[in-house]
């Protein structure tokens, strides 16, 4: 995983609540094993009924065509566990999402892919959103994970909180599986204990005989 230190980009105001993964990465009639993730992002919302581009959709506006940061409401990423809803962000260089809150699985998928999920204190969120709207894509914002700060046009730096463990994982771009495999001996020991104490948990396929 790519380490995340800082990211500078145009902040896109997408101030809706409960944006779900069907909306972010729609299931297509013809689905590919490896779709064009860049085009997948909000694919349906980007188009009008006749298939032409909807000029009113925020990411289609000229000033937001090269996004870097998505700014949104509560419970972002609700719904299915599909990781394409994160991969399609990365494919568009959106490496930070600032939301009032995230759905659990979506936030986890962000961390797994080096995408920084930021939740601001309510008062800061309000200030930041106003600044993002005012900036209107004319100047970028910078999100610095090391300093836990957002800087950009329209005011002073905004500090954000993030769990120390999540921060470390993103900063170091840690290999999640590698981190766990440091505990391989403990996993093996657990299996041995359980094979004796609750044998049925450690045998599945062979139960069938």
Partner 1 sequence: MPQTLFDKIWDRHLVARRADGRDLIYIDRHVLHELHAPHAFEQLEKQERPVRRPDLTFSMQDHTVASKPGRNDHSNPSGAAFLKAMREGSRKNGIRIFDLHDPEQGISHVVAPELGMVLPGATHAVPDSHASTVGGLGALAFGCGTSELAHILATQVMALKRPQRMLIGLEGQLGAHVTAKDVALRIIAELGVAGARGHVVEYAGTAIRAMPIEQRMTLCNLNIEMGGRSGFVAPDDKTFDWLAGRPYAPKDAMWERALTHWRTLKSDDGAAFDREHLLDCSTLEPQITWGTDPSQVLGISGQVPDPAALEQGRRAAAESALAYMGLAPGMTLAGLKVDRVFIGSCTNSRLPDLKAAAEVVRGRRVAAGVIAIVVPGSTTVKREAEAIGLDRVFRDAGFSWGESGCSMCAGGNGDRGEPGERCVSTTNRNFEHRQGPKVRTHLVSPETAAATAVTGRIADVRQLSAERA
Site residues (vs partner 1, CB under 8 A): 17-18, 20, 22-23, 26-33, 44, 74-75, 78-83, 86, 101, 103-105, 108-109, 112-113, 163-166, 168-169, 174, 176-177, 179-184, 186-187, 190-191, 194, 198-209
Q: Which is nearer to partner 1, 12 or 170 (CB)?
A: 170
Distances (CA, A) of 155 to 64, 110, 119, 136, 161: 21, 28, 19, 15, 19
Minimal distance, residue 192 CB to partner 1, in Å? 12
Q: Which is nearer to partner 1, 27 or 134 (CB)?
A: 27
Minimal distance, residue 11 CB to partner 1, in Å? 21
Minimal distance, residue 156 CB to partner 1, in Å? 28
Give the tokens for residue 178.
């590698």
Q: Which is nearer to partner 1, 156 or 206 (CB)?
A: 206
By the 8 A CB rule, do 153 and 134 touch? Answer: yes
Q: Which is nearer to partner 1, 156 or 198 (CB)?
A: 198
Can you tell me whether residue 29 is helix, strand or coil?
A: coil
Minimal distance, residue 53 CB to partner 1, in Å? 16
> Could you give the CA distance from residue 160 to residue 150 in angstroms, rounded to a whole number?
8
Give the tokens for residue 59.
């990411």
Q: Which is nearer to partner 1, 157 or 191 (CB)?
A: 191
Minimal distance, residue 107 CB to partner 1, in Å? 10
Q: Can you spell out the DSSP letters for 62-131?
A: GGGSSEEEEEE-SSBTBS---THHHHHHHTTT--EEEES-B-HHHHHHHHHTT-EEEE--HHHHHHHHHH
Q: Which is nearer to partner 1, 138 or 164 (CB)?
A: 164
Minimal distance, residue 75 CB to partner 1, in Å? 4
With vertex at residue 15, the alpha carbon angle to CA 152 and CA 101, rounded to the nearest 5 degrees, is 90
> Could you give the CA distance from residue 57 to residue 18 in angstroms, rounded to a whole number?
17
């Amino acid at each position: 995983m790519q380490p995340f230190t800082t990211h500078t980009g145009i902040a896109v105001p997408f101030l809706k609540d409960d944006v779900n993964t069907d909306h972010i990465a729609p299931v297509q009639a013809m689905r590919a094993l490896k779709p064009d993730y860049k085009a997948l992002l909000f694919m349906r919302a980007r188009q009008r009924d006749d298939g032409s581009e909807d000029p009113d959709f925020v990411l289609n506006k000229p000033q937001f065509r090269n996004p870097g940061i998505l700014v949104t409401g509560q419970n972002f990423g609700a719904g299915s566990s599909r990781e394409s809803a994160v991969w399609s962000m990365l494919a568009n260089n959106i490496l930070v999402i600032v939301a009032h809150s995230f759905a659990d699985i979506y936030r986890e998928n962000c961390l797994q892919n080096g995408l920084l999920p930021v939740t601001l204190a309510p008062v800061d969120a309000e200030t930041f959103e106003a600044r993002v709207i005012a900036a209107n894509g004319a100047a970028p914002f910078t999100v610095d994970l090391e300093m836990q700060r957002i800087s950009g046009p329209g005011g002073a730096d905004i500090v954000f909180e993030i769990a120390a463990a999540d921060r470390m994982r993103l900063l170091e771009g840690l290999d999640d599986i590698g981190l766990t495999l440091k505990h391989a001996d403990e996993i093996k020991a657990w299996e041995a204990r359980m094979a004796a104490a609750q044998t049925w948990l450690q045998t599945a396929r062979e139960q069938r005989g």
